[in-house]
Structure 1
Amino acid sequence: MRPSHPPRVRVVVLNWNSAWFTRRCLVALVATQYPADCFEIVLVDNASIDGSLEQLRFAFPNIRVIANEANLGFAEGCNRGMRDLSQVDAVALVNNDAVPEPGWLWPLVMGLESDPTVGAVAAGLVLEPAFTRVGLSVDGGQAQIDSLSIGPINVLDRAQSEGIRSVGHPDWPMDLDYFVDGTASLLVPTGEGRREIALRVSGSGRLTATTGLDQAQVELGSEPTEFKLRAGDDRTELLNGLGTHLMENSEGYDRCFGQPAQLLSGASPETVQGFCGGGVLLRTKMLQQVGLFDPRFFAYYEDTDLAWRARRAGWHTVTAPESVIRHSFGASAASASPGFFVHVYRNWMLSVLRNAQPAERRLALRSLWDRTKWAVRANVFSRLKHGHLPRTKLVLAWKQVVWAVLLELPYLRKTRHQKIGAERTSKIRSPLRPSSGARAPSSRPGGPLIVYLDIDQNRSAAAVLLAQLPLIEQRIDLVGVLQDAGSPVGYRRASAVDMQQILGLPDRAVSADTEMLSLREFAIGSAFLNCEQARITARAATRSEFLIPQNPEPQHGLSSEDLSLEDLGPENLQRARLEDFAQGLINRFGLP
């Protein structure tokens, strides 16, 4: 039974140079089914330079914004939205690249209300886009999967598998080779609609690959062979996680990762060791006792550390399977990069050394020692023994981890029994902080369609399009650009100052070196809008290779040769016309 006086809940969303994802998240949060007088949204921005904060402020004028002076990471960035909790009973964290269902909050609240010792309630996170199953069978040999693509986008690192053997490279175990012996399945993130799946394989024997719509057979050899399969409309949703647990060596992992999302419908709430900071409700009293995220973690394991501190203080974490939040898989970080590797393993050890019992610490330290020793043996001694030069990438990464942990030992001893994160700070100690530059928009399976708009050609029309088109059609990411002679494609992305001027916002924006916004290339399958005089025309920025045409002729009377809008006075850019134009863009260029 729902409480007669619902708890007051604040939702904190963190943005960093990501207008499309954050806008989509905020649209979903605004539609949350919860009493409006007990619910508030706080948008925290980590000093975005690409104009995303300006666009979000314009689109959501009633949402409170906290604009940070620098990129403070996920930990301190979220902390800025969680320190002033005197007026709320609980605070929810939702990743900006996630989309909650309308009823997501009540199950979390009911989990918190079920027991006064519950300090956190973890939502059910579902991966998006949905997956297409590709059945694989090898007769008389073994297949190696060299690449897996949707159109020109390689998605092998985002695919899930059943019965496929993955082997890490000795010099960098996060680079994997994939092998099929007998029968197996690939679950490929494809997005909506019919797609072509391209596989590049080598090996021995004969490989048969099937989807719900297609089948192919290839003879395998030492030279890679590429073939394509049509994916039908069947899709499988998979879980990103339902709470977290710790392995024997205290490494954290997402419970139920990769399992069918249908599991949520029959699951009951459970007590778990931790939560993912991308979808959780935290009790204010718990945070007031144990503190917030540790700002020194910057990103990764800050949620594991907080959950562990809460457990030590007698609080519990439970799951709420009925709270469903869809999370864009791989949208937030480059998980195979050395920076990710060092940051994750550094923070793993920091959380262990602060929170674990002596026996647990010994197991974790032994695991760290064994991995470092293996890296040296495999990449230095073994290669020298066989007359090869050493490979140092992995060895140097583990060296960075060890040194970073040693540097933090005095701090860990000092703070083991202290309240963490209570004081506001801008001094984020981490040699691994990313540069202030913003990643260029890139196409990903499931969308959005990236559409570039030259905002200098017709500023009044550009302002209307930037303000309205992304909200009218959420499958379009409208990226403002300006001409730039130093760019390989002749354009750079609009800066925060540019967006402030176009949208007529009074607040001072973060200034940045525009070289950091220069475009090296246009996103695959993207479109470009020219906004000259009183007419907008759309053209392909790059070749579109994604969609198998089902409706080859665009609807709404828009010509495939001349997709355009006439009479561009702001008073003429009405919603109905923009809806037709947006649908024409989707029909003409397709979704990734």
Structure 2
Amino acid sequence: MLTTVVVVTWRGAAHITDCLDALAAQDRPHVALVVDNASDDGTAELLRRHPVRPKVLRLSRNTGFAGGIAAALSVVDTPLLAWLNDDAVPAPGWLAALEDAMAAGVAAVGSRLEYEGGVVQSLGVRLTPDGYGADHTAQAEPFGFCGGAALLRADALRAVGGVPARFFCYYEDTDTAWRLRLAGWRVTVEPKAVVRHRHGASTRPGSARFHRWNERNRLLMLLRCAPAGIALRELARFCVITATLPVRGRVPPAPNYRIGLRCRVLGEVVTALPATLWQRFVIGRRRTIGRAEIWREWACQ
């Protein structure tokens, strides 16, 4: 078996059965590993009774998707590691398509994630000129993979520093893809690897927590991976917008424009700054391609 499929769950009893049933239907042998983030909704009992008999790594607290993948990486002993959301349902040929697409020089292969009805949600991640990760839907190589369903080389992932567990969730996939590209690896997508995805079954996109993680992790990712000028520009822009919100006539209603949320994001970024700058130094030591080169190629299209 080449691949360990890692499913990270938290209170996933309402939807993880569909995911496990889909893994049982795969036509390529694999190891199934579920990382249970201290679920208290009966998920543990469901995992014990499911016919797949997945290996279970139960954590003592909720570490998020990023923390779950990071914990799994320490116990995986196959050459390939698949990330799979617990609200994702892969088609029977999903894993075979990903494994067959893993070519020389490629460290990660993303999937075709679809909404109900077959509408494309994501064919990977694109990098915007202001440093956001956004869904890539074009039939071309993406900047990064969507962590909801992807296959990675375990040795390459370890060599670039693993998964940023502190992110909890969101941007851990884009940050990982960025570090892989800095190290000279390619990231591709396999449109034949189809996954139906109930996006945000656990995290409620649009909620205050969603926006907090999104804004904080984008800034931390830029401080770790982007050219220094870009990282400082976006951090300064975030500070200026936050400072001017009280005097603006009209403010968007989204939670990421609440002053309290933005101040919390800034506080968490400042607290993490010493460790983040050290990580930036280490990432720089590992890279084989310049930060500016990656930025010009992928964020300025």
Deviation at 1:371, TM superposition (A): 3.0
Deviation at 1:309, TM superposition (A): 1.3
Determine the structure 1 residue equivalent to 2:235. 365
Instruction: Name the % identity.
Output: 35
Deviation at 1:61, TM superposition (A): 6.2
Instruction: Check if 1:252 corresponds to 2:133.
Output: yes
CA distance in 2, matches of 1:295, 1:248: 25
Cα pair distance change 1:330/1:76, threshold 3 Å: closer
Which residue, out of 109, 112, 115, partners 1:124?
Answer: 112
Determine the structure 1 residue equivalent to 2:73. 82
Report 1:237-316 matches (<5 A). Answer: 237-256=118-137, 267=139, 270-316=140-186
3-state DSSP class of the match of 2:150?
strand
Cα pair distance change 1:250/1:393, threshold 3 Å: closer
Determine the structure 2 residue equivalent to 1:212. none
Deviation at 1:374, TM superposition (A): 4.5
Determine the structure 1 residue equivalent to 2:224. 354
Instruction: Check if 1:400 corresponds to 2:264.
Output: yes
Which residue, out of 13, 23, 37, partners 1:29?
Answer: 23
Deviation at 1:68, TM superposition (A): 0.9
CA distance in 2, matches of 1:412, 1:373: 24
CA distance in 1, matches of 2:262, 2:57: 36
Deviation at 1:336, TM superposition (A): 2.4
3-state DSSP class of the match of 2:26?
coil
Q: Which 5+ residue runs of structure 1 have no aligned equivalent?
A: 1-6, 131-236, 257-262, 384-391, 420-592
Cα pair distance change 1:64/1:309, threshold 3 Å: same
Deviation at 1:393, TM superposition (A): 7.1
Determine the structure 2 residue equivalent to 1:578. none
CA distance in 2, matches of 1:272, 1:417: 26
Determine the structure 1 residue equivalent to 2:90. 100
Deviation at 1:118, TM superposition (A): 0.8
Q: Does the Cα contact within 8 Å between 1:274 and 1:317 map onto a contact in 2?
A: yes
Determine the structure 1 residue equivalent to 2:37. 46
CA distance in 2, matches of 1:312, 1:335: 30
Give deviations 1:492-524, integer Å, cap 9, x for gaps: xxxxxxxxxxxxxxxxxxxxxxxxxxxxxxxxx
Q: Does the Cα contact within 8 Å between 1:248 and 1:363 map onto a contact in 2?
A: no
Q: Which 5+ residue runs of structure 2 have no aligned equivalent?
A: 251-255, 284-301
Letter in 1 for 2:259: V
Determine the structure 1 residue equivalent to 2:81. 91
Deviation at 1:332, TM superposition (A): 2.4
Q: Does the Cα contact within 8 Å between 1:12 and 1:92 map onto a contact in 2?
A: yes
3-state DSSP class of the match of 1:91?
strand
Give deviations 1:409-439, integer Å, cap 9, x for gaps: 10111122447xxxxxxxxxxxxxxxxxxxx
3-state DSSP class of the match of 1:19?
coil
Report 1:540-579 matches (<5 A). Answer: none
Report 1:464-503 matches (<5 A). Answer: none
Give deviations 1:294-324, integer Å, cap 9, x for gaps: 1111111111111111111111110101110
Letter in 2 for 1:276: C
3-state DSSP class of the match of 1:368?
helix
- Which one has the bigger strand percentage? 1
Determine the structure 2 residue equivalent to 1:161. none
Letter in 1 for 2:129: E
Give deviations 1:64-109, integer Å, cap 9, x for gaps: 11111111111111222222333x1100011100100000112211
Return the TM-score normalized by structure 1.
Answer: 0.45
Give deviations 1:450-498, integer Å, cap 9, x for gaps: xxxxxxxxxxxxxxxxxxxxxxxxxxxxxxxxxxxxxxxxxxxxxxxxx
Greater RCO (Cα-Cα under 8 Å, separation 6 or more): 2
CA distance in 2, matches of 1:401, 1:81: 27
Q: Which has the larger radius of gyration?
A: 1
Determine the structure 2 residue equivalent to 1:142. none
Determine the structure 1 residue equivalent to 2:280. 416
Q: Does the Cα contact within 8 Å between 1:249 and 1:367 map onto a contact in 2?
A: no
- Which one has the bigger helix percentage? 2
CA distance in 2, matches of 1:280, 1:57: 25
CA distance in 2, matches of 1:412, 1:122: 27
CA distance in 1, matches of 2:27, 2:237: 46
Q: Does the Cα contact within 8 Å between 1:271 and 1:316 map onto a contact in 2?
A: no
User: Any runs of at least 4 consecutive aligned residues in structure 1 with deviations exceeding 6 A, and if so which?
Assistant: none
Letter in 1 for 2:270: L
Q: Does the Cα contact within 8 Å between 2:94 and 2:193 map onto a contact in 1?
A: yes
CA distance in 2, matches of 1:118, 1:367: 35
Q: Does the Cα contact within 8 Å between 2:16 and 2:87 map onto a contact in 1?
A: yes
Q: Does the Cα contact within 8 Å between 1:31 and 1:102 map onto a contact in 2?
A: yes
Q: Does the Cα contact within 8 Å between 1:123 and 1:320 map onto a contact in 2?
A: yes
Determine the structure 2 residue equivalent to 1:437. none
Deviation at 1:121, TM superposition (A): 0.3
Which residue, out of 49, 52, 63, partners 1:72?
Answer: 63
CA distance in 1, matches of 2:130, 2:236: 8
CA distance in 1, matches of 2:155, 2:190: 20
Give deviations 1:555-589, integer Å, cap 9, x for gaps: xxxxxxxxxxxxxxxxxxxxxxxxxxxxxxxxxxx
Deviation at 1:253, TM superposition (A): 0.5
Give deviations 1:226-271, integer Å, cap 9, x for gaps: xxxxxxxxxxx31110010111011111112xxxxxx8xxx4xx43
Determine the structure 1 residue equivalent to 2:296. none
CA distance in 2, matches of 1:60, 1:15: 18
Letter in 1 for 2:4: R
Return the TM-score normalized by structure 2.
Answer: 0.86
CA distance in 2, matches of 1:124, 1:96: 16
Deviation at 1:362, TM superposition (A): 3.7
Q: Does the Cα contact within 8 Å between 1:108 and 1:281 map onto a contact in 2?
A: yes
Which residue, out of 3, 8, 11, partners 1:9?
Answer: 3
